[in-house]
Every structure is written in C-alpha cells, then in structure tokens.
Structure 1
Amino acid sequence: MAVKPEYNQNFRIGLNAFGFTRNNEYFNAIADGYTLFGYHLNPKLVYFPAEFVRLEGGVFLWQDFGNNRFTQIRPTFTLKVQKKNYALLFGNLEGNLNHGYIEPLYDFEKVINDNLETGVQFLLTRDRTKLDAWIDWERMIYPRDPFREEIAGGLTLEHTLWQTENGWRLGLPVQFTAQHKGGQIDSSDLPLLTVFNGTTGFNLEKKLHTTFWQSLYTKNYYVVNKEFSNVPQLAFEQGHGLYLNAGVQTKLANVMLSYWHGQDYVAEKGGRLFQSATTSFLHPSYLEPDRELLILRIITDIKLLDNLFLSIRFEPIYDFQNPKFEFSNGFYIHYNTDLFVSKVKQ
C-alpha cells in the first residue's frame, strides 16, 4: 500500500489480483492432502488526502475453480498514515505473508484461505530494526450470540546485531501470536480460551558477490506454545519445538532445507504439518506428541513486469515418525497496481 508525497490529492484506481494453485500430497494423520485452485480480486478506489495519508475502499472477491459461486465477497477499507520510519493502518491490514512469520507460527496457506485481516497495525522500519505489531478482530459478537468473540494479534521483530561491509549480517528475530476467544454478552457455554505461541533465535546471512550465487543463510528458532485458559481446551497445554533452516539464494531459485522437532506443539494459526495434534477431519482424535520433519523448499520468484510476479514452489517432506515421501507444490501469480484517475484541484 504505497504512500508517496507526489500522490497528494490524487484519486487512483487500484487492483490487487492473486491467482493460486497449491497441491498438498499428504498421506499422514496430522494434515489432510487437498488441492487449492482459484483467484482473489480486490479492485479499489484510492484517495490521498495528504502526502502521508492513503484512504482506500473496495471489494474482495474469492473464486475457487470448480465452484460456480464466489467463495467469499467482502468489502475492504484501509486508512494508512505513513511517516518516514513508521506506518499506522486501520481497517484491512498488510497481513499474512507480509508479517514475516515462520511457518510453525503462521500457516503459509492463510494467504489463500484466510486472506483478510481487519483491525489495527503498526509498522516500524529503521536501519537495524523492523517491527510489525497487529490486532485482528476476527469475530464480533452481539448480545446473546451463540458463539464466542474471537481476537488475534501478534508481533514480528528483527534487529540487526552485527553487519559488515563485505556482506555478513547477524539478526535477532522475535515473533509471537496470541488468540483469545470469549466475551461477556454471548450465550455460548464454551469457556474462555487464551493461547500464546512465540519464538526467538538467530539469523546469519552472507551476501555473495557473484551473478549466480547471491547469498548463504541459516535461520534458527526455538518455538514455544502455552495455553492460559482457566479450563484447558487444547490437546496440549504447553509444548515447544526446534526449527532449523539452512539455504542458498541463487539467480534461479531459493533452496532451503528445514528441520522441525516439536514436542506437544499446537498452534491455531501455525502450519498444519508442524502440529502435534491433528488438523485432519479423517483422523479427528489423532495425537503425535513427538513430531519430527525434514523439509526441502525450492522457491523460484520471477518478475514479469514491474507489478506482476510469478512464484513457483516445490516442497518434498520426510516424516521421521511415519517414513514416507510427501510433498506440496504451488504456482502463484500476483499483480498489484494503482492507476491514476484525477487530481483534486485546490
């Protein structure tokens, strides 16, 4: 959501288009295999009342191929105030993959299945520090509603501890998500639910000054989960995990090898494969307290135009507890632009 001084008093028409196909060839009892195939469209009208303010409204359309009806139609609205080092958003957030979470905390598929986040977001960008703090109001309740109020939020932060002119960089990441389900005016018999997932670790990167080999990196995290509900409702009240990654960025692709070892780990917003409690409707009571995975990710991002990008992903998986070959693959195309319409005369 660009905010530029030269856009002051501009009216513009925006379009965010996202096409996706993702195929999960999973055969375990933790996460079901399935295919997602379709597109999102978000046309919008944008106005810049000042050189640091962006106001936009539109409609979000989600179409799954093989379904004659839209899967979802929702209005969108965002007010963004942006200064040199920070931005404040109200309405629809710059969420999902923009947060920069690791997959054990935040499922990659939310960019398809749970695209819109609505609430408040604060973004901070400085030379050595990048921060994203957000609150997503997921479900509103009114008097005597038969369901609970649902709120989610979190924070991602990365601070550069050390950096050299020849390309070395050491970063300290801190991330967490929190969910709360409850309320005082609903008629639901379900108790309050409060859940926390968090992680920290270190990221070490070395830039390579060649045309083909661009960088080497390792990103390593210790992950924890904790339920703070008065009446425990999850399969495990607390757990932890180790998430180790090493990779190379080349001109053609980003290749990363990931190791996950989780113990009693559950995360409502996390990737399904990393859970110790099933998310499968085929195996509703299955538990795997000790979960160990090896994942190879091969990701190619191609810039077709200034605002048009193609991404291809292939992710083979080895499950140590249930030895078998599984994989996911995906093809994504994203177009995002603003077109000038007119300028308000002053």
Structure 2
Amino acid sequence: MKKLLTIISLFIVLYSYSQESIFYSTNQLSNRVSSKFGLEVYNLNFIKNNEYFNFIADGYTLLGSHIYPQIQYNNSINTRFKAGVFIQKNFGETKVEHVIPTFSFQYSNGNHEFTIGNFFAGNNHGTIEPILASEKILRDDVIETGLQYKYRSKRFTIDTWLNWENYIRANDDFKEVFTLGASANINATENLTFPIQFITRHKGGQINKKIRNEQNIIDIYDLHNLAIGTKYKFETNSDHQFILSYYFLFHTTNAPLTEHPFSSGNANYFKLRYLHKNLNFMLSYFKSNRFVTALGNDMFNSYSLKVNNNYWNGELDNRYLNLQEPKRELLFAKVFYEKLLAKNILIGVQLEGLYQLNESIETLVTQESKKNNFDYSYGVYLRFNDLFKL
C-alpha cells in the first residue's frame, strides 16, 4: 500500500508539471477498484471560445457535453476488462454528434501498465501544446484506439502509445492514418526534470486506391515532431511554486508540398508557470523557423490553416491558400482556476491571450498586417468523474 501511494503521489506531481489546460483530467479512478465489477462515469460539460483574427488559425467555438460510462470487470488484482460508450453532444444541435463503443484490456504490475483497445487521453499524454493541441480532449478523438504502455518510477516515467485513427479496406479511396507517440520525463532531482516528447503521424496504406500524378507523387508519408526540454521547479513554500521550462522542437516530413510546405523546421518554446493552490498562471514565448506541427495547436504552424469560405465582391476569398509565416514569434499568457464544488465535481475557468510579434502581411485583398495582433480565448468546464461498485 505504501508503494502504491508513493506511485500515485509521484503521478500527481508529474501531472501538475505537465498540465497545459484547465480541461485536462488524469481519469485515474480505474486504478482504485476493489470489487469484481465497477461502473465508472465520466461527464464533461464545456465551452471554449477562440476569438482569433490572425492569418494562421481560425477562430471558432467548441461547446458541448461528453458522457462516458464504462463497465469494469476486474479479473484479478493485475487485470481488468472495460466496455463502455462515449457520447458527445454539441450545444445548439438536436442530434448527438458521436456515439463510440469502447473496449479495452488492461494489465498492471508494479510500475508497469499495458492497455490494448481503447484508452482515454484526458491529459494529452502529458505533452506540450505544440505537440498535441489541448482542444483534442474536447473532441471525440480524446478516445484513442490501439496500444498504450506506461512506466512510472521515481526517476523515470514514460507514456507510449499507438493510436490507429483511420482503418482501410481494399480499394478504399482514402489513406490509413495512425499516430505513434512517446512522452517521457527523466527526473534528475526532485526539482529538475528533462522531458522528451515524440510524435509520428503516418498516412499511407498498401491496399487502398492510389492516384499518381505530378501534384501527388507520394502515397505514403510521415510527419515527425520531437521536443527535448528541461524543467526546474522553484518552491518558495508549500503554497507557491514557480516552474521554468524550455523546449527545443524539431519537425521533418516527406509529405508533398500540398500537404506541408516545409520539409523540416525547428522552434524554441519557453514557459514560466506559477501555481498557487487552485490558481495556475503560464507565460510562454514561442519562436519558430519553418516549423510544422502534426497534431499541435494550429497557432504554432508556419503556414495558414484557415478555412477559405468567405467572398469578396462575389469571388472566393483565397488569400490564405498559400500564405506562409516561416519565422513565427508569439507570446502567450494563460490563467486557469478550478474549484471543487462537491465530491468528484470540479468547475474550472480558463483565460488565454496570444500576442503576435512577427510581421505578417497578406497582399491579395486588404494588405493588412498582423504584427502586434492580439487574439484571445476563454473557456469554462464542469466535470464529474466517479466510480461505483456493482
């Protein structure tokens, strides 16, 4: 029991180190089951509004509810089976957006944990925002499918996973898609940590239809993201913590230029975090050179991902079609606060501001510059997570 409590305490500390968003959840209740059967219920109600007016990322609003009940069968102290259904409902729509049945088998022994089937990526595997966008957990892809292995010890933790996102059959006219990832922390001392994070996103397949021409000559390609960092925690007392971190990011890809315009690039990412009880404040600086993120926040990309769906004098507004910002420079400020309303019920509020330092000019329509542009977002959530013995 003492060893188990030590591991749980360590995980909570590492979770506080890696938290990038108020919406994150460790969802670790399944590890505390003492009966043969159990019912875990997860519910997240959220609003996330992005007021973005830059040339790279669209502004939009996510608002809705997730309901995720799971039946657990604990075959032994080390093995458990789970079956459930993940349901997503968007506010303002009468239909249910997603209904996803989930199945998984989990084996845990000491510091090791292995899962095959579906797993819940409620804290984005502890990754930073340029590697995995925090809004992923507000969509149905918070449910991942494949394999996951975790190891936790005092000096080293790692979360590795294979998420199979798109299954293909013979003669399908689309590609198979999967993501391979790893998120590790090397704990040199109690206060000094070296994180390493890696993502590979693969698109390809051998049995699907392939169309080869001058514009599309690559049928199988990958995009790799690597982040190597260092973190140091300063503690003034038990109620106040400062965490300073730096990451060097790198990407490489063999994708065609129509998919990603830069074959390789890099970025520097600095973060200063202040924690005081339920309050978390982050100040970040990001500077990139032709950097492309596979699944990170669109704001960190070096080319536009905006939707071209507006018209000027009857003509489609396509000024973002080939717009690039190879040298992107941003300042981020984020504050989030959460409070326990009742047992297993949390409410949280998040505010974020984004300030662009690099020059950014589109010349097709307004010849407007986005240097010194300020974007912002805000969000609110109410989360319930509990485990019931059956």
Question: What TM-score, normalized by structure 2, do the two folds share?
Answer: 0.82
CA drift at 1:229: 4.5
Q: Is the 8 A contact 1:93 1:118 kept in 2?
A: yes
Structure 1 residue aligned with 2:192: 170
Structure 1 residue aligned with 2:205: 183
Of Structure 1 and Structure 2, which has the larger fraction of its residues in helix?
Answer: 2
What is the rounded CA distance, in whole Å, between the counterparts of 1:25 and 1:328 in structure 2?
6
1:238-277 pair list within 5 angstroms: 238-277=264-303
- The match for 2:73 among 31, 39, 47 is 47
Structure 2 residue aligned with 1:208: 236
Q: Please give the secondary structure, in 2, of the residue aligned with 1:127.
A: coil
1:288-327 pair list within 5 angstroms: 288-321=325-358, 322=370, 323-327=372-376
Is 2:115 the counterpart of 1:94?
no
Percent identity over paired residues = 29
Q: Please give the secondary structure, in 2, of the residue aligned with 1:117.
A: strand
CA drift at 1:278: 1.5
Question: What RMSD, in angstroms, separates the aligned Cα atoms of the two structures?
Answer: 1.7
Deviations 1:150-187, CA, capped at 9 Å, x for gaps: 11111000011123xxxxx1101100100111111001
Deviations 1:23-46, CA, capped at 9 Å, x for gaps: 001001101111111011111211
User: Residue 330 of structure 1 aligns to which amino acid in structure 2?
Assistant: G
Structure 2 residue aligned with 1:166: none
What is the rounded CA distance, in whole Å, between the counterparts of 2:124 and 2:202 in structure 1?
22
Cα gap change, 1:144 to 1:15, in 2 (>3 Å): same
Is 2:150 the counterpart of 1:123?
yes
User: Residue 151 of structure 1 aligns to which amino acid in structure 2?
Assistant: F
What is the rounded CA distance, in whole Å, between the counterparts of 1:6 and 1:41 in structure 2?
20
- The match for 2:386 among 314, 322, 337 is 337
- The match for 1:59 among 66, 71, 85 is 85
CA drift at 1:312: 1.3
What is the rounded CA distance, in whole Å, between the counterparts of 2:33 and 2:353 in structure 1?
46
- The match for 2:307 among 281, 288, 299 is 281
Q: Please give the secondary structure, in 1, of the residue aligned with 2:328.
A: strand
CA drift at 1:320: 0.9
User: Residue 57 of structure 2 aligns to which amino acid in structure 1?
Assistant: A
CA drift at 1:231: 8.1
Structure 2 residue aligned with 1:13: 39
Unaligned runs of 5+ in 2: 1-27, 309-319, 359-369
Is 2:227 the counterpart of 1:199?
yes
Question: What TM-score, normalized by structure 1, do the two folds share?
Answer: 0.92
What is the rounded CA distance, in whole Å, between the counterparts of 2:252 and 2:37 in structure 1?
47
CA drift at 1:208: 2.9
Q: Is the 8 A contact 1:4 1:52 kept in 2?
A: no
Q: Please give the secondary structure, in 2, of the residue aligned with 1:55.
A: strand
Cα gap change, 1:303 to 1:253, in 2 (>3 Å): same
CA drift at 1:324: 2.1
User: Residue 374 of structure 2 aligns to which amino acid in structure 1?
Assistant: F
CA drift at 1:205: 0.2
User: Residue 208 of structure 1 aligns to which amino acid in structure 2?
Assistant: T
Q: Is the 8 A contact 1:31 1:278 kept in 2?
A: yes
What is the rounded CA distance, in whole Å, between the counterparts of 1:308 and 1:136 in structure 2?
29
Cα gap change, 1:261 to 1:6, in 2 (>3 Å): closer
User: Residue 85 of structure 2 aligns to which amino acid in structure 1?
Assistant: V
User: Residue 197 of structure 1 aligns to which amino acid in structure 2?
Assistant: N
Of Structure 1 and Structure 2, which has the larger fraction of its residues in strand?
Answer: 1
Q: Please give the secondary structure, in 1, of the residue aligned with 2:142.
A: coil
Q: Is the 8 A contact 1:40 1:60 kept in 2?
A: yes
CA drift at 1:338: 1.5
CA drift at 1:303: 2.4
What is the rounded CA distance, in whole Å, between the counterparts of 1:230 and 1:236 in structure 2?
9
CA drift at 1:311: 2.1
Q: Please give the secondary structure, in 1, of the residue aligned with 2:270.
A: strand
CA drift at 1:237: 0.4
**Greater Cα shift, 237-246 or 43-52:** 43-52
CA drift at 1:73: 0.9
Q: Please give the secondary structure, in 2, of the residue aligned with 1:111.
A: helix
Q: Please give the secondary structure, in 2, of the residue aligned with 1:241.
A: strand
Cα gap change, 1:229 to 1:281, in 2 (>3 Å): closer
How many pairs align? 333
CA drift at 1:233: 4.0
1:72-83 pair list within 5 angstroms: 72-83=98-109
CA drift at 1:96: 4.8
CA drift at 1:267: 1.2
